[in-house]
Amino acid sequence: MTGKTHIKIQGKRILSELNDLKRTTEAAASELGFTEEFTLGVIEGTKTEREIMDFIWAMGERYPIDPYDLIIPKNDTQMGVKIMRRKESELSKRIFNRKNKDGEKTPYYEYRDTAMSRTAPFKPEWIKELRVVSDNNPENPDVAYNNGHFMHQMTFFLGPANFYYDIYGKKFCQEMNTGDSNYITPFFPHSFTSRSKDEEALIIAVTFGGEVRRAQKEIYSLKSPLENFKFDFRNHNKAISDLVLQHMESERLSFNNLSSILKENNSKINLLKILDQNSEKSIDELKELALYLNIGLRDLLIPGYREDEDIIIKRHSKEESFIYPNNKSPLYKINTLVRTERLSEMKGFDIEVLTNSLKEPSSKNLHSYFYNYGNSLAGFSWWDNGGVFHDELNSGDSLYLNPRIKHAFYNKEKDNAKIIELSIPGALNLQTQIELSAFSNIERVAYETKEWFN
């Protein structure tokens, strides 16, 4: 955002929308009842925040647009980084009671916020398990399951915590330990307890929204039931058949229309078989079919359903660790946390820092969250617009990092620092990148500079 204040960015977003609506400054000023000079001031970012908001509401009244979509959240990071100190996390603590086996409400969890930014889709919490159990019985009446939630969850375990989950009415319990992790699909009920009165059992529960979260506004205004938009994920062959049907509907092709096209092209594809929800479709068949539907092969692919992916448990394994980038000049010892094909860009790591000096920064296309769960201080450096910035991440501190920012961790004490990382894509995900890559001007996407003509 260097050189571009929030108010200037806000003005450019308004210009971008006026371009979409095919309104010049002059036309918008006259339709909205402002002077041309005022309208120009809004676009140039020389008006006050209040005046800009007045203009946005006027646009919302006059044009068929969502005025809230014009408001750009204020960036709360420092050059793409936001750190939350252990002390601040402690101050945010909330203890929530839940029923025990006798029906009395007693302390169940202590929640603390960790690093969150309004520019990121994470809501990561530090959660201490306060209910102590003496078994791993999933039906233990002292265990209070929640109702599940809208956000995806990846959890990192610290200490002797039990993890409970309910899959369509059948309950399970897993004994978890430091370094283990899990993934919980939205709305599956779950719970956590401690197995020890003396040892602390904690989880770092990173909840986050994906594409469905980003579509939430549109979903809330849908007239057709959401059920009509869902694939039968648990029946893969049927899901593919339904997807082919959906593309046929979009192309306004009936069964007869598409059959004729296949015949004209001497295709060997049997459309009846493709639409048979019990028959398996080969990649070759789908690739050819895609041609006649004016789409790509990727538009006909849905990940296969695996029952064991609704809730996934990943145990820490010493043998699985690898040294990044190589054994000669090791920076990090990395253990991969839970993975799922359904969210192929959700990347969690347990990182032990091996270097004492700042070298070889790296970056990624994802939003990243870090939490120092060890006892040692880590140095943290990042690069922005050619400048390099330095800070520290102490035990219990957490950090949010914007995508594509070069960064590096290094030890500041004798013992190695231990850090959890979780990265996820934002709206600028792979699909968006592909669309964006074809544009003839990238600069004007992030900061509209001109009217569509003149």
CB of 108 to Fe ion, least distance (A): 13
Query: Which residues of the chain form contacts with Fe ion (CB under 5 A)?
Result: 153
CB of 205 to Fe ion, least distance (A): 6
Q: Which alpha helices (H) appear in 140-268, and where do they start and end? A: 211-214, 216-220, 236-250, 255-264
Which residue, 111 or 324, has its beta carbon nearer to Fe ion? 111
Q: How far apart are CA 205 and CA 150, in angstroms?
A: 14
Residue 164 contacts residue 193 (beta carbons within 8 Å): yes
Secondary structure (DSSP) of 357-377: S----B--SSEEEEEE-SSS-
Length of the chain (residues): 454
Q: How far apart are CA 389 and CA 358, in angstroms?
A: 12
CB of 153 to Fe ion, least distance (A): 5
How, if at all, do strands 332-336 and 347-353 pair? antiparallel
CB of 303 to Fe ion, least distance (A): 23
CB of 149 to Fe ion, least distance (A): 6
Which residue, 153 or 398, has its beta carbon nearer to Fe ion? 153
Label residue 79 left, alpha or beta by phi (over 0 means left) and psi (-120 to 50 means alpha). left
Which residue, 133 or 297, has its beta carbon nearer to Fe ion? 133
Which residue, 203 or 271, has its beta carbon nearer to Fe ion? 203
CB of 207 to Fe ion, least distance (A): 6
CB of 346 to Fe ion, least distance (A): 15
Which residue, 122 or 380, has its beta carbon nearer to Fe ion? 122
Which residue, 189 or 330, has its beta carbon nearer to Fe ion? 189
- Return the H-helix or E-strand segment holding 431: helix 430-437
Which residue, 16 or 207, has its beta carbon nearer to Fe ion? 207
Which residue, 398 or 416, has its beta carbon nearer to Fe ion? 398
Radius of gyration of the chain (CA): 26
- Return the H-helix or E-strand segment holding 230: none
CB of 192 to Fe ion, least distance (A): 8
Which residue, 140 or 153, has its beta carbon nearer to Fe ion? 153
CA count, 13 A, side-chain hemisphere, 256: 0
CB of 171 to Fe ion, least distance (A): 16
Going by C-alpha positions, the residue among 78, 5, 16, 95 that lies closest to residue 46 is 5
Q: How far apart are CA 56 and CA 70, in angstroms?
A: 7
Which residue, 122 or 332, has its beta carbon nearer to Fe ion? 122
CB of 151 to Fe ion, least distance (A): 8
Going by C-alpha positions, the residue among 382, 378, 375 that lies closest to residue 401 is 382
Kindly state the tokens that stand for 18: 């006026």
* Amino acid found at 291: L
Residue 384 contacts residue 405 (beta carbons within 8 Å): yes
Q: 10 Å Cβ neighbour count for 223?
A: 4
Which residue, 311 or 405, has its beta carbon nearer to Fe ion? 311
CB of 163 to Fe ion, least distance (A): 10
CB of 184 to Fe ion, least distance (A): 6
Q: How far apart are CA 435 and CA 426, in angstroms?
A: 15
Kindly state the tokens that stand for 165: 């989950």
Kindly state the tokens that stand for 389: 């910035």
**DSSP helix/strand/coil, 193:** strand
**In the bound complex, which residue of the shown chain has the CB atom lying closest to Fe ion?**
153
Residue 153 contacts residue 110 (beta carbons within 8 Å): no
Q: How far apart are CA 60 and CA 372, in angstroms?
A: 45
Which residue, 183 or 382, has its beta carbon nearer to Fe ion? 183
End-to-end CA distance of the chain: 27
Instruction: Tell me 326's DSSP state.
Output: -
